[in-house]
C-alpha cells in the first residue's frame, strides 16, 4: 500500500552515496500523483546534481521477477511507478565498503539514488510492477558491466521469494560470485599542465593516488582541435587545469596577447565543453590579477573583477567560462612560489652573489606556495566542498615584495638592509619592453576556504621552511 503525505527527505544507508528518498505522493478517489524527479527540490535537499540523460522503464508481468545485481558506470535514480519491489544493492567499488549490502522495499513513495559502482537489483512483490530509473550516461550494448550472482552466499541477500522460485534470466543466473569480481576503481582525475610548477606540486600531492593521471603540454593540448576525442572522457570524474599562459608582461605584446587568449580562454572553453558533455568536475586556477588592486580591504570571491592588463583580462574571462559549469572549483591565488624560477629563489641568488637589490614596496600581498595550493585542491575535491570560487594563499600578515625580500635575506643569514624598497614606477622605469600594470593590493580574503575545514599554513612559516631547504641544498652543492 502506497503511503500518502510524506515529505521529501533523504535517508543515508551503510553504502556511501546510496540514499533512500522519501517521495510525497498525493492521492484521492482518482488514484495518486507524485513528482518522481524534481531537480530543484531534490538537489536542494542534498541529492547530487547528477544530470540524467536517459530514462528507462522495465515492466515486470510476474510476481517474483528478479533482475540484477548490475553495476553500470553511471549513477541511477530508481523508483517504482506501479506495484511494489524489493530493492537490493551491493557496493562493488574498490575500498573498505566493498561487498556491503543494503535492502529496502520500494513503492511509489520510496526511491533510491544509486552512485556509480554500486550493484543494483530488485525483485517484484506484485504482478505488473513498473520499475523506473534515470541514468546519467547512455547504455552501450557493446560494453562489459560488472555484475554479481544474486544468490551469492557471501552477500546473503534475503530475497522475499527464494531464487529457485523466482523469475530470473539465464544471464543473471550465470553471473560470478563476489569473490571473483574485480572491484570497480574510482573514475579518474586528470591533471593538465602537469609539467609546470603547480603540476609538479600536484604530482607530489597525489603520489599515493593510483586514479590520478598527469598530462603535460606534449600529452594534451587544450587548444588542439581534437580535444574532444583525445581521451575516453567517460572515465574521468575530475580535470585539474594547471595549464596557463603566465607571461604577465609578454601578454602585453601582439604575439603574447594572442597566446594568452588562446591558452587562458580558448583552451579553457574547449575543456569546459568536454566537461559539460561528460559530467566532469573542472578545477581551475585563477589569479589576483583579475582585480585592479584599488580596494583597501582583502578581496572576496564575490568582488567584481576589474583586470588592468591582458593577462588579468584573460584570467577573468577564463573564470567566467568555467563558472558556467555546474561542477567547478575556481581557486584564486597570488604570488605563487614553486619548484623552478621564482621570486624567493631569485632573492637567495642575489644575496649569495653579493647583489643588493631594489625591490617594489608599493604592492602588498601574501605568498602562495604550490604545495599549499595543491593541498587545497585535493581538500576541496575529497571533502566534496560546495562548488564555486575559493581564494587560496598563505595565511598571516600581508607584506610588500620588498618586505618579503628582506625576510628572505634574513632567513638565509644575510643583512636585510641590503634590500632597498622602490615604487613600481621606479622599478620599471627603465624597462625596454611593455610592462603590464600590477594590482597594488593582492591580499585575498580566506574566510570561505577556511569554512570548508581547510587551514592555510602561514605564508611566513612556508617561506621559512622553503629558505631552509634551498639554503641547505645550495650549500651541499657548493661544498667540496
The model's pLDDT over 184-197, given as tens digits with 9 standing for 90+, comes to 988 899 999 999 99
- pLDDT greater than 70 at residue 233: yes
What single DSSP character describes residue 417? G
Number of domains in the chain: 2
Q: What is the CATH number of the domain that holds 162?
A: 2.60.120.10
Burial class (CB in 10 A: 0-12, 13-18, 19+), 124: buried
Q: From the candidates 70, 284, 379, 414, which is the catalytic residue? A: 70
The model's pLDDT over 140-181, given as tens digits with 9 standing for 90+, comes to 777 778 999 999 999 999 999 999 999 999 999 999 999 999
Per the domain annotation, does 406 fall within a domain? yes
Which pairs from 469-477 meet CB under 8 Å and 24+ separation?
470/344, 470/345, 470/348, 470/412, 471/348, 471/411, 471/412, 471/413, 474/348, 474/352
- The reported pLDDT for the residue numbered 478 is 54
- The reported pLDDT for the residue numbered 475 is 63
Give the domain extent around 49: 9-180
The model's pLDDT over 17-39, given as tens digits with 9 standing for 90+, comes to 999 999 999 988 899 999 999 99
Q: Do 106 and 193 fall into the same domain?
A: no
Q: Do 176 and 192 fall into the same domain?
A: no
Helix (H, G, I), strand (E, B) or coil at 259: helix
- pLDDT greater than 90 at residue 5: no
Alpha-carbon distance 228 to 249, whole Å? Answer: 32
The reply to whether 390 belongs to the active site is no
Cell numbers representing residue 165 in the block: 522460485
Domain boundary residue among 180, 213, 234?
180
The model's pLDDT over 111-139, given as tens digits with 9 standing for 90+, comes to 999 999 999 999 999 999 999 999 988 88
Which pairs from 260-265 meet CB under 8 Å and 24+ separation?
260/310, 260/311, 260/314, 261/314, 261/317, 262/223, 263/222, 263/223, 263/314, 264/311, 264/314, 264/315, 264/317, 264/318, 265/314, 265/317, 265/318, 265/321
Q: From the candidates 26, 55, 131, 133, which is the catalytic residue? A: 133
Cell numbers representing residue 69 in the block: 545485481
Cell numbers representing residue 56 in the block: 528507462
Per the domain annotation, does 199 fall within a domain? yes
Q: Do 128 and 193 fall into the same domain?
A: no
Q: Do 100 and 153 fall into the same domain?
A: yes
Q: Which residue, among 103, 182, 98, has the nearest Cα to 144 in the 3D structure?
A: 182
Share of the chain above pLDDT 90, in %: 86
- pLDDT greater than 90 at residue 49: no
Q: Do 172 and 194 fall into the same domain?
A: no
Split at pLDDT 50, 70, 90, the class of 431 is confident
- pLDDT greater than 80 at residue 3: no
- pLDDT greater than 60 at residue 376: yes
Split at pLDDT 50, 70, 90, the class of 237 is very high
Q: Do 141 and 236 fall into the same domain?
A: no
Phi-psi region of 413 (alpha: psi -120 to 50; beta: other; left: phi over 0): left
Q: Do 32 and 171 fall into the same domain?
A: yes
Q: Do 74 and 216 fall into the same domain?
A: no
Domain boundary residue among 118, 149, 180?
180
Q: Do 121 and 248 fall into the same domain?
A: no
Q: What is the CATH number of the domain that holds 357?
A: 3.40.50.720
H helix count then E strand count, the chain: 12, 25
- pLDDT greater than 60 at residue 91: yes
- The reported pLDDT for the residue numbered 1 is 63
Q: Do 286 and 214 fall into the same domain?
A: yes
Per the domain annotation, does 1 fall within a domain? no
The reply to whether 329 belongs to the active site is no
Q: Is the peptide bond before 257 cis (omega within 30 degrees of 0)?
A: no
Q: What is the mean pLDDT of the chain?
A: 94
Alpha-carbon distance 305 to 352, whole Å? Answer: 40
Cβ contact 48:142 at 8 Å: no
Q: Do 176 and 193 fall into the same domain?
A: no
What single DSSP character describes residue 155? T
Alpha-carbon distance 335 to 445, whole Å? Answer: 14
Please compute the mean of the pLDDT values over residues 313-333 and round it to a whole number.
97
Query: Considering the entire predicted model, what is its pTM?
Result: 0.83
Alpha-carbon distance 109 to 35, whole Å? Answer: 10
- pLDDT greater than 90 at residue 480: no
Split at pLDDT 50, 70, 90, the class of 459 is very high
Domain boundary residue among 180, 205, 240?
180
Alpha-carbon distance 284 to 317, whole Å? Answer: 12
Please compute the mean of the pLDDT values over residues 227-249 and round it to a whole number.
93
Q: Do 67 and 196 fall into the same domain?
A: no
Please list the residues that pair with 25 across neighbouring strands: 34
- pLDDT greater than 80 at residue 350: yes
Amino acid at each position: 500500500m502506497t503511503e500518502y503525505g510524506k515529505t521529501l527527505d533523504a535517508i543515508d544507508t551503510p553504502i556511501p552515496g546510496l540514499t533512500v528518498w522519501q517521495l510525497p505522493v498525493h492521492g484521492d478517489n482518482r488514484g495518486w500523483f507524485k513528482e518522481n524527479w524534481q531537480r530543484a527540490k531534490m538537489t536542494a535537499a542534498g541529492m547530487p546534481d547528477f544530470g540524467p540523460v536517459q530514462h528507462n522503464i522495465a515492466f515486470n508481468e510476474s510476481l517474483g521477477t528478479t533482475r540484477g545485481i548490475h553495476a553500470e558506470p553511471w549513477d541511477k535514480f530508481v523508483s517504482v511507478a506501479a506495484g511494489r519491489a524489493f530493492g537490493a544493492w551491493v557496493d562493488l567499488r574498490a575500498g573498505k565498503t566493498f561487498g556491503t549490502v543494503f535492502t529496502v522495499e520500494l513503492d511509489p513513495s520510496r526511491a533510491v539514488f544509486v552512485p556509480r559502482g554500486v550493484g543494483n537489483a530488485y525483485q517484484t512483490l506484485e504482478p505488473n510492477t513498473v520499475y523506473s530509473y534515470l541514468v546519467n550516461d547512455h547504455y552501450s550494448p557493446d560494453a562489459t558491466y560488472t555484475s554479481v550472482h544474486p544468490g551469492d552466499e557471501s552477500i546473503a541477500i534475503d530475497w522475499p521469494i527464494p531464487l529457485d522460485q523466482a523469475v530470473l534470466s539465464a544471464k543473471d543466473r550465470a553471473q560470478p560470485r563476489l569473490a571473483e569480481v574485480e572491484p570497480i576503481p574510482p573514475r579518474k582525475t586528470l591533471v593538465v599542465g602537469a609539467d609546470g610548477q603547480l603540476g609538479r606540486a600536484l604530482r607530489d600531492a597525489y603520489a599515493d593516488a593510483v586514479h590520478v593521471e598527469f598530462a603535460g603540454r606534449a600529452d594534451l593540448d587544450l587548444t588542439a582541435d581534437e580535444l574532444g576525442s583525445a581521451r575516453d572522457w567517460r572515465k574521468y570524474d575530475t580535470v585539474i587545469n594547471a595549464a596557463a599562459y603566465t607571461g604577465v608582461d609578454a601578454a602585453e605584446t601582439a604575439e603574447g596577447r594572442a597566446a594568452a587568449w588562446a591558452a587562458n580562454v580558448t583552451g579553457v572553453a574547449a575543456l569546459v565543453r568536454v566537461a559539460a558533455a561528460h559530467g566532469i568536475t573542472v578545477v581551475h586556477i585563477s589569479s589576483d590579477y583579475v582585480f585592479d588592486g584599488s580596494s583597501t580591504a582583502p578581496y572576496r570571491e564575490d568582488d567584481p573583477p576589474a583586470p588592468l592588463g591582458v593577462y588579468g583580462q584573460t584570467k577573468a574571462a577564463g573564470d567566467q567560462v568555467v563558472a558556467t559549469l555546474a561542477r567547478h572549483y575556481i581557486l584564486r591565488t597570488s604570488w605563487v612560489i614553486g619548484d623552478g624560477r621564482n621570486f624567493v629563489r631569485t632573492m637567495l641568488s642575489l644575496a649569495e652573489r653579493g647583489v643588493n637589490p631594489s625591490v617594489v614596496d608599493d604592492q602588498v600581498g601574501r605568498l602562495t606556495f604550490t604545495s599549499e595550493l595543491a593541498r587545497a585542491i585535493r581538500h576541496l575535491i575529497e571533502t566534496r566542498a560546495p562548488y564555486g570560487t575559493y581564494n587560496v594563499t598563505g595565511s598571516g600578515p600581508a607584506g610588500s615584495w620588498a618586505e618579503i625580500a628582506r625576510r628572505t635575506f634574513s632567513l638565509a643569514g644575510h643583512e636585510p638592509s641590503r634590500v632597498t624598497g622602490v615604487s613600481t614606477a621606479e622599478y620599471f622605469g627603465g624597462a625596454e619592453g611593455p610592462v603590464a600594470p600590477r594590482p597594488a593590493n593582492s591580499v585575498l580574503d580566506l574566510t570561505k576556504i577556511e569554512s570548508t575545514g581547510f587551514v592555510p599554513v602561514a605564508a611566513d612559516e612556508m617561506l621559512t621552511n622553503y629558505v631552509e631547504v634551498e639554503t641547505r641544498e645550495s650549500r651541499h652543492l657548493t661544498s667540496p
